[in-house]
Structure 1
């Protein structure tokens, strides 16, 4: 019988702002040290031993997942020029197959079979997947260890042959010039930040590529893309609270990139193209953003005129431009929404550079797409073409599987193209609701719940949370979650501050010096669910990943008595040490999210007050399951490893505390679908085992 691993303590002293902290496990950061690898392997062996009694349940859950999922399946094709593109899966294969068929009918052509690309690799990730304007060439990039560094290749789709061009390492994404002679891509700096954009001419060596832009400010990340009209390429530089875009005509790849609006602190904007104007979503006149427009030949911010004004509490997230319509994505009343605007009086099918000026666009009525369910998630789906009257959207809720719907933008008539198949299940048996908890400062915090109709009152419940980066955890359907619901476990999402569910203010009041609102909101949600009879302390499990893992770690320190079990996936728990180290990936950019404790003593004290690793208490902790990825560039493996070691040292009872490190993967865990299902089966078995025993 293995005992819990106890790594050697080698105290390291950290001093900042006159404060002194001791880190006894700092040595675990040295991934080249054989003792570190040995420790992670020992943790994996211990975790497997501690979960050995759940082997039957894990297999049962995995079998249930497979029984509900149509393993050989195909999504709805999306038209793009002479082709319709789609993704399909085959039973027994881990990864997707990207394919296409001629619009007029004909045989399938394989664009990219990720299963073949993944052969011989424990991990597989796809970065770029970009078909050239004529449909003749494919640029794609792959990652085989989870590091998120990619090798970019080019495939001739007419012959299936790979061109000799090989570009590595690159960041995510790649975009074609209009003439298909050039590709633009990003490369990473020492901190894993996309900081250079390059132009590659097909048929030449990478050493001949031209760097078209370098971003020296470590707070900014670069990306490249193109507008739906395909007339413009967009080079974006984004920090957490600021952005700066450059544009270049797609048919002028060797031209000069032009700045749309110089960066300003606190001002963000995105851009889309429509005829002779750019459409700009920006927060320059209010925190919930407005929609503006500017001429393509004179687009400085002084020329921006308002199309949709800023409205407090209604967060404009994006605009999608089509020939005769605009589609505005927004958040209102805690839900995602889509507004449609008709456009009249402008022939945008003509080239905007013609000497005859185009007529000004006239906005028709603005109308919202309405849905029957009170809690749902809707967003714009795959829409590859500009000149179309059909909008593809994706709709889901806690009880409705993901549904692909085509909307006629002229009549609003809807056609359900596909609903995610869920086999061997009566979906009518599941119920959902919205509750509101009251935070300590009086703020009302929404909770989304789902359960099966025969669940006993007060049964077990799994509460999920995130609460950072303005990222919203919207209600969504999960086939895998049904295994919990069918065993009497309800599922809830705490929509805590730090996310974006209720507009920009919801985010602003859950970051930097107000970050603790994220944690107290979550605790308030847990207490509300107990007080309202949804569950009990002995039946309450919690879960979160990455920044949501920070949430889990923080609330465990604040209220270890409130929960029976916790799952923290790749958790950002060594928060203060990481944000104090600008040499680590993401840190400098992260100062806009958390504050800079190197320069601001108040931020230092706030972070020190909640950082999970620094606040592990001498008390009883619930059962905790923790994951890590050895190659994770976002949350380094040592954060969860150090946290688990300190928890075991200081806790006075409870547990167990288990750590599973993926030794060949990164932030997202196992990459193959069957591997990820087995991973989920382990997590669900752990949760079920704990809440059954404690609430029995």
Structure 2
């Protein structure tokens, strides 16, 4: 097996030790690398550059493999392509990509007629009759190393375009408004906004949010187009640092909804869309631990709100209330059913679409207003992902759906509600002769020490044989995990992943507690003072895959990002002997230091997820027992580690993986740090840049499992 440590032409960067003493609840921790936090300090920047140079040197022998993987990703991708058009008003809206260009081009074309609900079949390289280019991301990004679009919306009458651009990676967007007919940018430029701004239904106003010093969206503003932004009206401000704020209009265009939420509590406010300067009206006053979300509908001529809530209903129930008196009588429409986690309701004029989760999979059903019945859509694969999207119209005859699995490329369907017909509009093209039948997916179960059954999704290429076949021997295996915020890792096919599967690597997802795959209880058992379950579940899954013959420790690489990066750091300390390598992307590995400091971005909001170690000694001790940075073990033999971060990340600061790698290196671990110097939490921008970044990571992974020289099976 290749070990590049013997070929490194540069010594590993060794940072100076400068002790910083952290004292809480009678405990003292000596932090040797907290000085890395001075982001603008020349010595810190020089250290990060030295880490990058060392990583480049250590991985130089993989340059050819990186190029091959990049070419494989590029060769499987239809570079000049178009999305499926989505109808809104008098237009079909879509985006397209052009070979050689990093970013998408957002366009529209006129409807053939008012009753036209069949999207036009667009072909790459073929001119679209009447096409208008609304925004070319490549032109907007010119001269910038980073580009991200945070808002994009066209007014109901089709005359104005609202868009927000970030060129730093810090998730602060400058809003602009364009007159589509003339192409002129209006003088209403608003810097420093959060993502997700909206135009009012009448096109007179912009509703947007701004953030506080801790990067928390805390204020909603109303801007009248044509006036100075300095005179914008503050519609709503949330002073409690535990809560995020957002705003958007109902599909019916009847109300502006202002949403206020923490991880465990929410409150929503209504403002009439035809009187946006009115005082926001609370729907249900907030109560600690109660979450709810609303959707507006008109049933029997009456304005009603359908509300999903968890008040005495762990997996949520659906009720209906009068919009004029939402705190009045509640009609239970769908009672709480343990194991059926209701996740969202999208209301339309004649029916609604219900999203829910059962038996570890996403489900969709059409909800009938009159009967309260749910007609679930059926799909043939045992593992799949389905969701709705691209449905801006209030009274459509069809619902736009997205579908895919680990082996089936993402597909777009229109579901005809009246007939139940499912119309395939497009399947993601995968070039190079890809056949879904060449790959297999299955679900297996690992059993934790407390008897909990943990679902595991496994994918492989059939030509290499079943990975548990006794004559095949252990296979190289890539194990992914997350396990926080009730976020589920659902089945999805990845073009980049084919570069692993085609070299014989098995891919698996550990659906550990803390995620949402198995309902709300699954999440509750992996947060706060139960967080260790997330880490031990992942170790249980790794051991199960070894014990059942899928892999062996010297051929097993784990990966996780952000909160999943915390998982990576924790399992590296818990069971380093189980893994040959660990890939940690923007990893939350200095969790206790961050959560102790309310001045840092987003910290106070996170107390509902992790606990408040600043004021609670029990939480402090519990977090200190698992936080990766504090628990790097002297004398342990760590797997090879690659940590990837970004200098401008506002969610998990670069300082966390930088400190972690420095500490790992103290105990002799083979740890690499790669820091993008002009990117944010999501990494580099631009599709080609992203492909090269992923090729870098996958080449490292293949090197760890001894397949750097293995050819990809075509």
Q: Match for 2:226 among 197, 203, 209?
A: 203
Structure 1 SS opposite 2:618: helix
Q: Does 2:378 correspond to 1:370?
A: yes
Instruction: Give the deviation of 1:271 after TM superposition.
Output: 1.1
Q: Does 2:524 correspond to 1:515?
A: no
Consecutive unaligned residues in structure 1, runs of 5 or more: 344-361
Alignment-derived partner of residue 163 in structure 2:
140
Q: Which moved more, 1:568-577 or 1:274-283?
A: 274-283
CA distance in 2, matches of 1:631, 1:322: 40
Partners of 1:539 and 1:695 within 8 A in 2: no
Q: Match for 1:314 among 340, 343, 354?
A: 340
CA distance in 2, matches of 1:622, 1:695: 21
Q: Does 2:417 correspond to 1:434?
A: no
Instruction: Give the deviation of 1:178 after TM superposition.
Output: 2.5
Partners of 2:702 and 2:708 within 8 A in 1: no
Q: Does 2:46 correspond to 1:38?
A: yes
CA distance in 2, matches of 1:462, 1:674: 23
Instruction: Give the deviation of 1:448 after TM superposition.
Output: 0.4
CA distance in 2, matches of 1:185, 1:289: 30
Alignment-derived partner of residue 241 in structure 2:
218
Alignment-derived partner of residue 287 in structure 1:
314
Instruction: Give the deviation of 1:325 after TM superposition.
Output: 1.3
When residues 369 and 454 of structure 1 are mapped into structure 2, their CA distance, relative to the original with a 3 A threshold, is same
Instruction: Give the deviation of 1:98 after TM superposition.
Output: 1.0
Instruction: Give the deviation of 1:693 after TM superposition.
Output: 6.6
CA distance in 2, matches of 1:622, 1:364: 54
Alignment-derived partner of residue 637 in structure 2:
620
TM-score by length of 2: 0.93
Q: Does 2:695 correspond to 1:681?
A: yes
* 1:590-605 equivalences in 2 (<5 Å): 590-605=606-621
Q: Match for 1:330 among 341, 356, 366?
A: 356
Alignment-derived partner of residue 496 in structure 2:
480
Instruction: Give the deviation of 1:560 after TM superposition.
Output: 0.6
Instruction: Give the deviation of 1:146 after TM superposition.
Output: 0.5
Alignment-derived partner of residue 121 in structure 2:
none
Instruction: Give the deviation of 1:694 after TM superposition.
Output: 11
CA distance in 1, matches of 2:140, 2:222: 25
Structure 1 SS opposite 2:588: coil
Alignment-derived partner of residue 527 in structure 1:
543
Alignment-derived partner of residue 59 in structure 1:
67
Q: Which moved more, 1:100-109 or 1:427-436?
A: 100-109
CA distance in 1, matches of 2:689, 2:350: 45
Instruction: Give the deviation of 1:256 after TM superposition.
Output: 2.0
Consecutive unaligned residues in structure 2, runs of 5 or more: 1-8, 114-128, 468-473
How many equivalent residue pairs?
674
> Deviations along 1:194-233, whole A, 9 cap, x unmatched?
1111111111111111111111000011111111111111
Structure 2 SS opposite 1:178: coil
Partners of 2:334 and 2:372 within 8 A in 1: no
Partners of 1:629 and 1:637 within 8 A in 2: yes
CA distance in 2, matches of 1:405, 1:83: 19
Instruction: Give the deviation of 1:656 after TM superposition.
Output: 2.6
> Deviations along 1:526-549, whole A, 9 cap, x unmatched?
011111111111110000000000
Partners of 1:6 and 1:645 within 8 A in 2: yes
Instruction: Give the deviation of 1:366 after TM superposition.
Output: 2.0
CA distance in 2, matches of 1:583, 1:253: 33
Partners of 2:478 and 2:505 within 8 A in 1: yes
Structure 1 SS opposite 2:576: coil
> Deviations along 1:424-461, whole A, 9 cap, x unmatched?
12332100100000112110000001100022542100
Instruction: Give the deviation of 1:364 after TM superposition.
Output: 5.5
CA distance in 2, matches of 1:83, 1:255: 32
CA distance in 2, matches of 1:455, 1:541: 19
CA distance in 1, matches of 2:353, 2:220: 30
Q: Does 2:76 correspond to 1:68?
A: yes
Alignment-derived partner of residue 358 in structure 1:
none
Structure 1 SS opposite 2:566: helix
Structure 2 SS opposite 1:682: helix
CA distance in 1, matches of 2:707, 2:387: 40
Alignment-derived partner of residue 342 in structure 1:
368
Instruction: Give the deviation of 1:179 after TM superposition.
Output: 2.1
Partners of 1:644 and 1:658 within 8 A in 2: yes
Q: Does 2:282 correspond to 1:259?
A: yes
TM-score by length of 1: 0.95
> Deviations along 1:237-284, whole A, 9 cap, x unmatched?
111111111111212122221111111100011111111111111111
Instruction: Give the deviation of 1:133 after TM superposition.
Output: 1.5
Alignment-derived partner of residue 142 in structure 2:
119
Partners of 1:469 and 1:499 within 8 A in 2: yes
When residues 370 and 332 of structure 1 are mapped into structure 2, their CA distance, relative to the original with a 3 A threshold, is same
* Root-mean-square deviation over aligned CA pairs: 1.3
Instruction: Give the deviation of 1:56 after TM superposition.
Output: 0.5
Partners of 1:564 and 1:694 within 8 A in 2: no
Alignment-derived partner of residue 89 in structure 2:
81
CA distance in 2, matches of 1:402, 1:251: 39
Instruction: Give the deviation of 1:468 after TM superposition.
Output: 0.2
Partners of 1:227 and 1:273 within 8 A in 2: yes
CA distance in 2, matches of 1:515, 1:365: 37
Alignment-derived partner of residue 450 in structure 1:
459
Instruction: Give the deviation of 1:77 after TM superposition.
Output: 0.4
Structure 2 SS opposite 1:621: coil
When residues 162 and 609 of structure 1 are mapped into structure 2, their CA distance, relative to the original with a 3 A threshold, is same
CA distance in 1, matches of 2:25, 2:707: 46
